[in-house]
Amino acid sequence: MKFSERMGFKEPRNTIQTESVDLELKNELWNVLYLQYLDEPKKNYQFLDECRLEHYKLFTLLWLYYFKNKIDNQSINIEHNIQNINSHLYSKFDRWYYIYDIIEFIFANFEIPDEFDNLEHRKYTTELLNDALESNLSGYRFINGLFSPITNEQEIEAIEEAVINTDEYNTVSSHLNKALELLSDKKAPDFSNSIKESISAIESYFKVFFKDPNISFGNSLNNLEHNHGLDKQIKESILRIYGYSNNTGAIRHGLKPGDTTDKIKLAEAKYMLVTCSAFINYLKETNAN
């Protein structure tokens, strides 16, 4: 808390920003965007034909696929391209979510050629964004390239750890990423299918771990209990979660008479994503050898 807030000269912020981005938050997010992605070509190059390939591609992708403009109207001037982005975010037709849209787009489309440097760049960018979101009481956090309505730091850590994409468990990561995407869609969230993807991530883990594409959920848990030391209480809790996904609101099967999909809310989808992620992390750690 700032001195002015501690001493009562200024009211501290106490409202979480879920459908708004105030100027302080926008400025902090813009600074991350500018320093991590836009400032480098501006400092070292004056024209796009002298720019490194990755930055040239970035500005072109923005112009064509984000702004939906004609290729022959694209400016070759670095400053002009940066100003276009700035004007989009700070125009009088301001929409609070534009800053989130463009950061997601750039994060997904910009890559440093060196794989290690790119990984470090993405990790550091994520940390900077989440620092800005947390300090300004945003109701979102940046997780694996998406702004998501999850505010508990332990929950974020569980999901981030579980979605780490490895060649062996890439299908697990795919399901968790999809679950996160469906949960994070502010305009048309799909909580039922988000839960389905979360459960499917565990099933995918089982198939990879046991090297058996046809192994059932129940047999997998029994095997883990008897041969790999899975605690019986943990096993039973995961079975209950699996049972919930089979019996509620057409998550995994057709609707039963009287059921509706709108009975599934954000709280349930979020709980399932966090719980399934934590269980996968537990399995990876306890069954690594």
Please say if the pLDDT value at position 236 is more than 90.
yes
Q: pLDDT-based confidence at 38, cuts 50/70/90? A: confident
pLDDT category at 256 given cuts 50, 70, 90 is low
The highest-level CATH class for domain 161-286 is mainly alpha
Around Cβ 213, how many Cβ atoms within 10 Å?
9
Q: Where are the domains of the chain?
A: 3-139, 161-286
Whole-model pTM? 0.64
**Helices 232-247 and 191-209 sit at what angle, rounded to 10 degrees?**
140
Q: What is the DSSP string of 45-100?
A: -SBGGGS-HHHHHHHHHIIIIIS---GGG---BHHHHHHHHHHHHHSTT--TTHHH
pLDDT at residue number 289:
45
- Distance in angstroms (rounded) separating the CA atoms of residues 166 and 113: 19
> Does the pLDDT at position 261 exceed 80?
no
Q: What distance in Å separates the CA atoms of residue 131 and residue 260, rounded to the nearest whole number?
A: 39
Smallest CA-to-CA distance from 150 within 32, 274, 25, 33 is with 274
pLDDT tens-digit readout, 21-34: 999 999 999 999 99
Q: Do 1 and 10 form a contact (C-beta atoms < 8 A)?
A: no
Confirm if 42 and 79 have CB atoms less than 8 A apart.
yes
- pLDDT tens figures, 122-162: 999 999 999 999 888 788 999 989 998 875 777 778 888 88
Residues 7, 149: Cα–Cα separation, whole Å: 32
DSSP 177-188: HHHHHHHH-SSS
Question: Which tens digit of pLDDT belongs to each residue from 65-116?
Answer: 999 999 888 887 778 888 889 998 998 666 899 999 999 999 999 887 777 7
Residue 248 has pLDDT above 70, yes or no: no
Lowest mean pLDDT of 46-55, 71-80, 238-247, name the range.
46-55
Query: Which amino acid is located at 72 in the chain?
Result: D
Range 240-243 contact pairs with CB under 8 angstroms and sequence separation of 24 or more: 241/199, 241/272, 241/275, 241/276, 242/199, 242/202, 242/217
Q: To 10 degrees, the CA torsion angle through 36, 41, 44, 49? A: 160
**Number of helices followed by number of strands (H, E) in the chain:** 13, 2
Residue 91, CB half-sphere, CA atoms under 13 Å: how many?
A: 12
**Cβ count near 239 (within 10 Å):** 14
- The confidence band for 252, taking pLDDT boundaries of 50, 70 and 90, is low
Residues 252-264, mean pLDDT to the nearest whole number: 58
Task: Give the mean pLDDT of 34-40.
Answer: 84
